[in-house]
Amino acid sequence: MERKQDVKILVVDDEDYMRDLVRQALESVNYQIDEASDGKAALAMVRQYPYDVIVTDLRLPGLAGDAILEEALSLYPETIVIVMTGFGNIQSAVDAMRKGAYDYLPKPFQLPELVLRVDKGIEEQRLRSENRMLRGELQEKYQFSNLVGNSPGMQHIYHLISVVAKKTSTVLIEGETGTGKELIARAIHYNGPRKDQPLVSVNCGAIPANLLEDELFGHVKGAFTNAHQHRIGRFEQANHGTLFLDEVSSMPMDLQVKLLRVLQEREFQKIGSATTIKVDVRILAATNGDLLEAVGKGNFREDLYYRLNVIPIRVPPLKQRREDIPPLLSHFTQKYCTDQKLLLKSISHEAIKHLMAYDWPGNVRQLENSVEMAVALSGDRTILDVEDFPVVSRPLAQNVPFHAIDIPDDGVHFNTMISELEKRLILQSLQVAQGNKKRAASLLHLKRTTFVEKLRRMGMECPAEEELVEA
């Protein structure tokens, strides 16, 4: 919570003893207090200073408390206004609540109750402020200018996003794993008319089929064994906003029927309930396969396909837009140098040439992982070279015949070569495992503790535990 000594409260009451009681109660918990004994004085003070909280009686000489309420909220909509009202005049307090008052207290009241409600109001004010700030950051993060790629294919996608973002039509995003389908979905949401409403994501492929219906629609208490309380599903959470259904092709057939009904009728029933719930939700769906092909094989309903495929966006794989690789490399290098508080590193021309020649089966996600690993393991060096990207450096020893190693006339340093091979094996295993040390150790048939010790002994700085994905 915001420090109380930084919170300024205006107390308004024409009874001196009441003002004193309220002031003392709030000052005892370190709030800063100003006082006014009538409505006109209070109004003048409100116009001069943006109070965090106003505690005011409704019946005041000269100017009623609801006039102070309206003026304060018109000037500073985030102000918390708590009204005090005499016994038998509750209707006035209810009217004040309709005009925007945060809460009311009927006189007489317990002073600890007043302090509690002020505390609660300040906390809600802080949360609202944080939510606005986070929404602003998200909207900035997913502006079109932050999408990286200058290829014709990506320029076409940017144009589609700019058009469909302003609509409410359903969008189907198709593309290989790692091409950035979720990033496109977020860009559509945060650049559209629903940007201030929730964006709720569901990975249909990551949730067991028998649990997916509950995830989407929720249930009522007692609907099944262990249903001890009501649960709100993702559709209800996304009401007035956007629901992103990732890997929608993995949805079981019986659930596809229910999804189709929701898309057609904009209503659903929770598990175990006969009550119909109306929702206003925009649907964005994504799949890493060919959904029309799935229809042909009988794995996906044709009627649902056409309901989802209102506006199709096909994201090309990275190997079909190699000209996007250099700006992506630059973007991710800057991102991870900033995240890890390192001086900005650059990538050598030779490394870029190799990276552009690689097919990137994992697409942009694999490229990003490669850059993150290179930045993390490169120590103090400011130039990233080919050897920092094991995915494009020379093949692993087990794939190279022994006779392919040339020993010059003056010989080689055995320990140096073995150390270099060990380093390459470790880097390659981390690359294949996408940073998962447990998985990387398993690929080399090493214990994880042994693997980590080798990293440290070889002086290969490794990201902190929490920055590497653990199994």
Q: What is the per-residue pLDDT for 55?
A: 95
Distance CA 123, CA 102 (A): 12
Same domain for 325 and 307: no
Q: What is the per-residue pLDDT for 399?
A: 42
> Which stretches does DSSP call E strand in 249-367?
267-269, 276-278, 282-287, 311-315, 346-347
Q: Distance of alpha carbon 322 from its chain centroid, rounded?
A: 29
Average pLDDT, the chain: 85
Residues found in the chain: 471
Query: Does residue 396 have a pLDDT over 50?
Result: no
Same domain for 211 and 76: no
Measured in degrees and rounded to the nearest 5, phi and psi for residue 222 equal 85, 5
Same domain for 398 and 251: no
Residue 80, strand partner residues: 53
Least-confidence region, from 59-63, 109-113, 275-279, 397-401: 397-401
Query: Does residue 136 have a pLDDT over 60?
Result: no
Same domain for 333 and 309: no
Q: Please enumerate in sequence order all residues whose Cβ is within 8 A of that of 88, keeping only pairs 6 or more positions apart, or say none.
A: none
Same domain for 439 and 356: yes
Percent of the chain with pLDDT over 90: 49
Same domain for 304 and 357: no
Range of the domain at 277: 150-316
Same domain for 156 and 132: no
Q: What is the per-residue pLDDT for 130?
A: 67
DSSP type of residue 317 = P
What's the whole-number mean pLDDT along residues 431-444?
79
Kindly report, residue by residue over 310-335, the tens digit of the pLDDT.
999 999 999 999 999 999 999 999 99
Same domain for 280 and 171: yes
Same domain for 162 and 88: no
Q: What is the per-residue pLDDT for 62?
A: 78
What's the whole-number mean pLDDT along residues 229-236?
89
More confident residue, 130 or 198: 198
Q: Are 239 and 280 in contact (CB under 8 A)?
A: yes
Same domain for 342 and 283: no
> Which stretches does DSSP call E strand in 126-196?
171-175
Same domain for 178 and 97: no
What's the whole-number mean pLDDT along residues 449-461?
73
CATH code for position 161: 3.40.50.300
Kindly indicate the confidence band of residue 116, based on its pLDDT and cuts at 50, 70 and 90. very high
User: Does 143 reside within a domain?
Assistant: no
Sign of CA dihedral 236, 237, 238, 241: positive
Inter-CA distances, 238 with 182, 281, 327, Å: 16, 6, 34
Distance CA 285, CA 249 (A): 9
Q: What is the per-residue pLDDT for 443?
A: 84
End-to-end CA distance of the chain: 36
What's the whole-number mean pLDDT along residues 436-462?
77
Closest CA to 189 of 216, 171, 175, 212: 171
Phi-psi region of 349 (alpha: psi -120 to 50; beta: other; left: phi over 0): alpha
Kindly report, residue by residue over 371-385, the tens digit of the pLDDT.
999 999 888 899 999
| The last residue of a domain, from among 77, 109, 136 | 136
Kindly indicate the confidence band of residue 108, based on its pLDDT and cuts at 50, 70 and 90. confident
Kindly indicate the confidence band of residue 80, based on its pLDDT and cuts at 50, 70 and 90. very high
What's the whole-number mean pLDDT along residues 426-449?
80
| The last residue of a domain, from among 316, 348, 373 | 316
Same domain for 103 and 28: yes
Measured in degrees and rounded to the nearest 5, phi and psi for residue 428 equal -65, -40
Distance CA 316, CA 314 (A): 6
User: Does 142 reside within a domain?
Assistant: no
Query: Does residue 278 have a pLDDT over 60?
Result: yes
Kindly report, residue by residue over 185-205, the tens digit of the pLDDT.
998 998 889 988 889 999 998
Q: What is the per-residue pLDDT for 25?
A: 93
Which parts of 281-324 fold into alpha helices (H)?
291-296, 302-308
Number of domains, the chain: 3
Kindly report, residue by residue over 14-34, the tens digit of the pLDDT.
999 999 999 999 999 989 999
DSSP type of residue 38 = S
